[in-house]
Structure formats: structure tokens, C-alpha cells
Amino acid sequence: MSRPFSSGVYVSRGVALLLAALTAVLLLVLVALASLYGSCVHVQPSEQGNSRVKNTSLWPPGGQEWALPTPAQEPTVGTSQDLGPPSGPWDHLRLPPWLVPLHYDLELWPWLQPDKLSPPNLTFTGRVNIIVHCTVATSRLLLHSFLLNYKQVEVWGPLAPDTRNATVGRMPVENVWFAPDMQFMVLDLGQSLEPGSRYELSFHFSGQVLQVGLEGLFLNLYHDEDELRALVATQMEPTFARHVFPCFDEPALKATFNITVIHHPGYAALSNMPQLGQSERIDVNGSRWTVTTFHPTPRMPTYLVALVVCDLDHISRTERGKEIRVWARKDDIANGYLDFAANITGPIFSFLEDLFNISYRLPKTDIVALPIFASGAMENWGLLIFDESSLLLEPEDELTEKRAMILSIIAHEVGHQWFGNLVTMSWWNNIWLNEGFASYFELELTNYFYPKVPMNMIFFFTVLHGILGEDHALESRAVSTAVENFTETSEINRLFDLYTYKKGACMAWMLASFLSPHLFINALKSYLETFSYSNAEQDDLWRHIQMAIGEQNAIHLPATVKSIMDSWTHRGGFPIITVNVSTGVVKQEPFYLDKVENQTLLSHNSTWIVPIFWMKNGIPQPLVWLDKSNMMFPGMKLSDSDSDWVILNFNVTGYYRVNYDELGWKKLSRQLEKDPKAIPVINRLQLVSDAFALTKNNYIEIETALDLTKYIAEEDEILVWFEVLLNLINREVIYDVNNYALYPLLKKYLLKRFNSIWNTYSAIIRENVASLQDNYLSLFSLERIFETACWLGLEDCLQLSRELFRKWTAHPETAIPPQIENAVLCSAIALGSDKDWNFLFNLYINTTEEEDESRRRRLVHAMSCSKDPWILNRFMEYAITAVPSNFSETNIIVVVATSEVGRYIAKDFLMDNWVAVTERYGTDWLDALVPVLGRTVSTDQQITELQHFFNTVLEERQRVVVQAKLQAMKTKNLQNKKRIARVVEWLRKNT
């Protein structure tokens, strides 16, 4: 190609024709691209031209310029090339790294007014100016926005380096459009931003306050002081800040925030920081509004931005010079229901400040008890939000485990002020660094305030017990997931599950155990100090722990911390550790639900690096590591002597189950019968839990687990009894299969062993239940002991039930101890008259307040305990004819169907009244009902009968689903029947 002349370019006629053709093609392409971009939002530039001074005295104008945000109104972008824009960064879940937010000036105006509490479409308006740093020359900007409407979008800059307020030019915004699949807002500019420069993005927007669903900015309607009231609050985690204002909604994109809230003068406004000042604003209708501004926040992610606009009352406490306010309904504050929460929060802060030697960085803390908050609790920096049920301690809850529950929930959210708020994970794939460590220190704090309850027992019952029952090799997910595995925003929401919270806490628990608590805390201090106001990956944590190990000589590991912990956090499931006490060989394999003979063929190629604390003959042994599929440990090889025994996972510090060969289990059973106290309580619990779980999943025979219970008459620890009864007396064993040979044998077996524990706790029930208050796990276990005693037919229990029930019916102010209320009511109804049943029924139909829904559920459960078929049938008739519309008791029939007598009554009732039942409740509740009915299915004739019935009343799609469920339950019931036959045979030999 020739160098062009200064006066122009000469082309031949042929070339000219070719250029004309190319131009035509180019025009067609541009037209096509324009249509591909779809309904692009056209946003008017500011009427002030290039001036950056905006008149806000009457802003927003109100009226018709603000369209209500609905999914249909937000411009949509297709997902295929013929329906959407060409492929680009908007196709990916993560924002491109072109812009880094530094600061937000955010103003929000929720249009809530006391005299208009429930408008059909309560809206909010807002504006935000975002200072960003540009890292790459780009004329296309991406940030997050979802279901927001925009009146004005502007980009200013580059900003002068010395001050934000210098006069600068406005960048031309040529187009604004949305990629709703990834919830992006895209700005196409007329020129590129300069790398290294700062710019200001300015938006005026509106949105809708949610009345159904509690994310983004949402409304609560509630009653207080006999009046209907309302409030608005926010829930931004994990990805809902973009529902409230346009932002860079990723945890690593931290910034500072100046927040302003405009609200009705009758309401208080709360945000992350203390109030800075107030002024007044008048809208176009002449109404006066209060403008509340707040001090700038520290650097934090968008998911921690919070505000509440309410007329709640509060109580105040001061801890180390900082104010803590607890907000709730005026009635609840006046009644003192928030006093415990207010009194415990300050000491929780102080405990963690002293533990980490890092002061809480914000000048104040507000805690708000919302009437309805689906998330349960949220750790927003400086403005913690809870569902009120998690904070209120009413007088009837004083002698329950509710006090400990409130403590643990507050402790969890306060723990986030360090793990999550001060140091934030870089992205959601490592959310366990927030939730797992907050859950772990929840245990520390509970143990601190309840020193009589060993921390390992708290861990076992509140964390380990639940997650080991759900986690397994085939379907569970890893605690830490690779970023590239995420393709949809909804996948982030699903991370807030059992694995993040409970398995994450187990990882922290195991770390603290093999490092030593002192080394563990020192490493965390270093981690928190280094990454304060910043973000971290789990590798950053491993590096700081490794540094702490390198600074001492007492703790030695077989591999780097990263290698050890990656073997646990990067894969699902957990290992089962099996020791052969005849050879001393220990092996590991993945734990499966319902193990089959060839299951090992599915095993992972890699292994866990397993820390094993162990005990031999009552003496704790040094830690050993299992970092291969099998290894020999000579000390674990045992002689033939009955006094020679070994137990692995001493103190239950490791995240795994333990299996033994036949000889190993026999030695442990004999030791329990000989001297159970030689084995610590936590390991007696572990033995029962592991053995029955391994039995259920086909690793060992049921007889092996049953042998461990022979000693139970000598067991005086209620928590071990709880675990034994949980596995021996449950619906799968007792109610679900027609094998009544089990009843008399199991009762006889337990009665011989039950008297001692019953005598201890029946005396406590009669004399002073409050004496258990300092050991809330005993309170938690008390109901199981009581209902078992009555089920066994112990006359003392039956008499005590009648006595407590009669006193209560005669004098309702004489409350039944709440720990055993359900068991007492059930026993009294099962043994009582129809007069007793009618007493509860009258209470039920006269309990209509929304706050008492839990009481109605308790009453329904008690009434379903009746042994009279005609009463249960009448109760179910009431459920389909007369339940008030404001009751949510769609479960009456289901509850009746779960009872010992009612399961057969319910089946016949449904077959006879199907039309009336479905007219009342529809068929959506069938999923809950089919498993209940399926418990009665153990023969082909029974399944055929149910299938024939459902074939006549259900649609084709529902029939297929129901039949599959019934067939699966039949298979399960037949398996249980075989299992129970073996239990019966064992009981015959040992009773």
C-alpha cells in the first residue's frame, strides 16, 4: 500500500466499487448490531450541560418520570447470537478488572410514610456518585445493577489528583444497556478512559421496596402498641446490593461510603456509621422529609452496606467507651425481652478484642430485631440485623436452651466483625473463611459463658453431629470451590449451606487441635492484622499459619499447612478411618451412604492427610498422621488381654468417623462394661454415634453397635443417653414397619437399664429444673429422657405427666417446665380422656395471634398423640372443614399421620376424603405426605393399593413421582424390616 498523499487518496473505479460494496455491508452489520443490542436504555444527559453542580433541593421530582421497576421493563439481552449482543465480558460472572471503586456517595430515599404503610408499590429513589480508578483504557464500563430504573447516567473525569471537587469535563455516554443474566449494567462511552486516572460515575435511579422476599431493600409490616406499623431494612449479602444501587458488587472491590438517608420525620434512620447530621428537604408536594447523613465508613464491600428506617425503640449499653444500642418493638423493649441481648453483646465484643488483640474498629454498634428477617441474622458492619426470634428472651424461655441460642447467634455475628468485615474473602468461593470461623468462635464464646459445658460437647452436638449426617463422598461439595466453577449468580446464594457453616467450623476445629490453641490464635492474629480492611484467599491463611509454625519448635507437621488443609477443603466428603488392632494397620477410604461391596472402586485417587489423636488403655497418645491410604502404627496393635484397648479420634478433634475390626469393637464393648469412665464422655458419645452410623450405612453389623449399649445402666451422662436413645427409639425402628415383636423386647431391655438416669432427672424436674440452666445441653436432652420413660411405661413418669397436666389445666399460670412440655402433653393426651383432648382443642382454636403459631404447632402435635381413632378422625375432618383461614396448620393431617395410631387412620381418611383435602390445601403438600404414608408400605399388596389410589386422583406427572417415591420407601422399609429382625434376635439373646 502506498503512503497517502497529503491532499487525498486516488482510487480506481474498480476499487471504488469494491469500497462501496464494503460500505453497504458495513451499514448492514451496524443495523444488525443495533438490533442485537435490543432495547437499550436511553438515559437523558444532565440538563446542566457540563456543569457538575446539581440542584437537589427538590430532588427527586416525584410524579410520572419514575417508572416502577419490573423484570419486564428492564432491558433484556438475548443469550444467543441472533437475540443478544456479541460475546463479551457481560457473559461472565465476574466483573472485568477495568475499574476499581474507591468511594461511594450514596443517597437513598425510601418513600415510607406512617399514614401510608402498605401502598401497592412502595418505591425508593436514589442517587450515587462512585469514584473509580481506571486500570485499562476502555470506552465500555461494566458494573452491577438489577431491577433498577435510571433517570440519569453520567461519567465525569478525569478527576484532578488533588481534589475530587475540581471542575472536570463530562465523558459522553452514548448508550446504556443491561445484561440481566449476569446482572450487569453496561455504559458505552464516546471516548476511552485513561489508565491511571480517576473518574466519577453518577446515577439517578429508582427501585421497588420488596414486600414479598427479604433481599435488597424490603418492607416489614408488624403490630406494636396495638397499631399497625412498618419499617424498611436492607439485606445485601451476597449479591443484593445491586438491587438497591448500581455498584461494583464483589467482595474484593472494597470502598468507603458516605451514606445519606432521606426519610419521614417520624422515623429514625440507622446505617453502618454514627449519624453525622440532619437537615430538611421538601418534596414537590410540599411534604417535609428528614435528611440524615452518616460518617464515612471504613473500606468495606458492598454486601455490608446497611440501612434501617423505623420507629422502633431501643435500649443502650456502653462497652469500653463505645455505645451499643438494641432496637426492637416498643412493647418488647418495655417488657425487657431484649435485656439479655443488650447485656451480653458488649462482653462478646470484649472477649474477641482481647483474644485477637485487635480492637473493634467502628465507633458504635446498632443491633436491630426485625419482626421478619428470613436470613436470620446479618453482620453488617456497625448495624447488625436479626430476626427478633433470635434475640427476644421472654420469661417462659428463661429455663430453656433459648438463652444459649441467643448467645451463640449474637456471638456468630459479632465474630464476623473480624472474620468477614475486617478481613473479607476475595470471592464467594471462600465464604467459609467468613462463616466457618464465625461458627468456630461462636463455640469459643458459648464455652466461655457456659464454662460447665465442655467445648468439645458443644462442638459435637451443635456442629459435628449435623454435618457428619449429611456429608459423604458422592454428592457433597467441597468447602472451597474453584472460581471458574461458578457460572451463575444463583450459585453464589447456594454457598450459604451446611458445608460452609458447619464443615467450615470443623476445619477450624481440626486446625486448632493439631496446631494447639495458642499457635492457632497467634496465626489468626497475624492473618487479621495483615489483611485488615482488605481481602484474603485461604492460601493467605495457610501462609500465616505456616509462618507461625516456623517461629517455634514444638509443633511439627508431616507436610505444609497448605498441603494438609487443601486435602480437606478442595474435596467433598470425609474419610472413614479403620484400624485393625491385630496388625496395627490403619487405612482410610471415603465415607459413602449405603456402602455396597464394590464401593471402593469409586474411591478418589487422592487421600486426606489425617491427624489422629488416640488413646490406649486410658492414656492419651502422641498425635500421628495418616497421609497414605494405609499405614502401620505398631502401638495400635493389641494383645489378647481385655485390658488392652485403643480408641482413635481422641477428644473428637478430627473430621472423620472411626471403624475398628471385630476384635477392636469387642474390646471397646468390654471396656465399657468393665469401666466406662476410663473412656472420656466425648468418646463414649463418639463410639455410639460412629457405630450406629456405620451400621446404617453397611460398614458394620447392627449387633456391633448394640453391643456398645450393654453398659448403659452405668452411664450417668445424659448426653450419652440422648445419643443412645436417638438411635434405639425412633420412627424408623418403632413405627414404620409392622414388626411388633420389637416393642416388648426393647422396652424390657431398656427398663432394666433406665432407672438410674430417670431417678436422677425426675428428681430435678420435681425439685429444681433451673439447676440445669448452666448446662443447656442437659436441658436440650431432658425431653428425650422424659418421653422415653413414659413410652417405656414407667409409672413414675406417667404419674408425673398426669400431675403436671392437671396442675396446668386447673391453674394455667402454673406452667409445665418448657423442656418437657411437648412430652407431657403428648403423654397426657395418649392416656387421658376426650375431655383432656377437648381442653387442648379449645386452646388451639382460641389461639389466633400470629405470634403464637409455634404454640399452635405444639398443640397439634399433642392432640395427634391420642390413641382414639375417632378423635383423630374428627381432628382431620376439622382440618378440611373448619381451620380458620389465618391458620397455617396445613400439617394437621401430616402430623396425625406420623403418630403411632394415626398413620393408619390418616391413610384411610385421605382415601375417603381426597377431593375435600385437595380443595382445601391443593396437592402441593403431597411431597410431605407421601413419605409419611409410605412408612406403612412393606408388601407388594400395600404398595399396589396406594398406587391404585393415587392413579385415580393424580395427574400423570404427579403419579410418576409418587409411584417412584412409594417404591423407594417400600425398598427402604423392607431393608429396615430385615434390620429390625436382627435387632429382635439380638434383644432375645441379651434381655
Residues annotated in a binding site for Zn(2+): 412, 416, 435
212, 202 Cβ separation under 8 angstroms: no
Q: Which long-range contacts (CB under 8 A, 24 or more apart) does 617-623 make?
A: 617/643, 617/644, 617/645, 617/646, 618/678, 618/679, 620/650, 621/650, 623/514
Do strands 216-224 and 227-235 pair parallel, antiparallel, or not at all (unpaired)? antiparallel
Q: On the CB side of 623, how many CA atoms lie within 13 Å of its CA? A: 19
Q: Which amino acid makes up residue 790?
A: C
Q: Could you tell me which residues are annotated as the binding site?
A: 412, 416, 435
Q: Which amino acid makes up residue 12?
A: S
Distance CA 34, CA 29 (A): 9
Q: Which amino acid makes up residue 590?
A: P
Q: 320 to each of 323, 732, 959, how far by Cα in Å? A: 9, 53, 64
From the list 306, 43, 41, the residue with the least C-alpha distance to 180 is 41
Where helices occur in 516-621 by DSSP H, the ranges are 517-530, 538-550, 561-569
**Bridge partners (DSSP) listed for residue 577:** 588, 658
Strands (E), 298-415: 307-310, 313-319, 322-328, 364-370, 377-378, 383-387
Looking at residue 78, the DSSP 8-state letter turns out to be -
Going 324 to 436 to 558 to 570, the CA torsion angle's sign is negative
Q: How far apart are the first and last CA of the chain?
A: 103
Query: Which DSSP string do the residues of 735-751 spell out, in sequence order?
Result: TSSS-TTHHHHHHHHHH
Query: Which DSSP string do the residues of 169-202 spell out, in sequence order?
Result: PEEPEEEEEEETTTTEEEEEESSPPPTT-EEEEE
| Helix, strand counts (H, E) of the chain | 30, 29
Distance CA 673, CA 712 (A): 8
Q: 609 to each of 502, 523, 581, 901, how far by Cα in Å? A: 20, 21, 21, 50
At 563, list the grid cell: 498441603
* Chain centroid offset of residue 162 CA: 45
Do strands 322-328 and 657-660 pair parallel, antiparallel, or not at all (unpaired)? unpaired
Catalytic residue among 413, 442, 444, 715: 413
Distance CA 368, CA 390 (A): 11
Q: Which amino acid makes up residue 969?
A: M
Distance CA 467, CA 655 (A): 10
At 75, list the grid cell: 432491558
Looking at residue 287, the DSSP 8-state letter turns out to be -
724, 688 Cβ separation under 8 angstroms: yes
**Bridge partners (DSSP) listed for residue 500:** none
Rg (CA), the chain: 33
Most distant CA pair in the chain, distance: 114
* Number of other residues whose CB lies within 10 A of the CB of residue 318: 9
From the list 385, 277, 390, 260, the residue with the least C-alpha distance to 325 is 385
The answer to whether 401 is a known catalytic residue is no
Query: Which DSSP string do the residues of 485-506 spell out, in sequence order?
Result: G--SHHHHHTTSSHIIIIIHHH
Distant-in-sequence, close-in-space partners of 223: CB < 8 Å, separation ≥ 6:
229
From the list 25, 37, 105, 39, the residue with the least C-alpha distance to 75 is 39
Task: State the catalytic residues.
Answer: 413
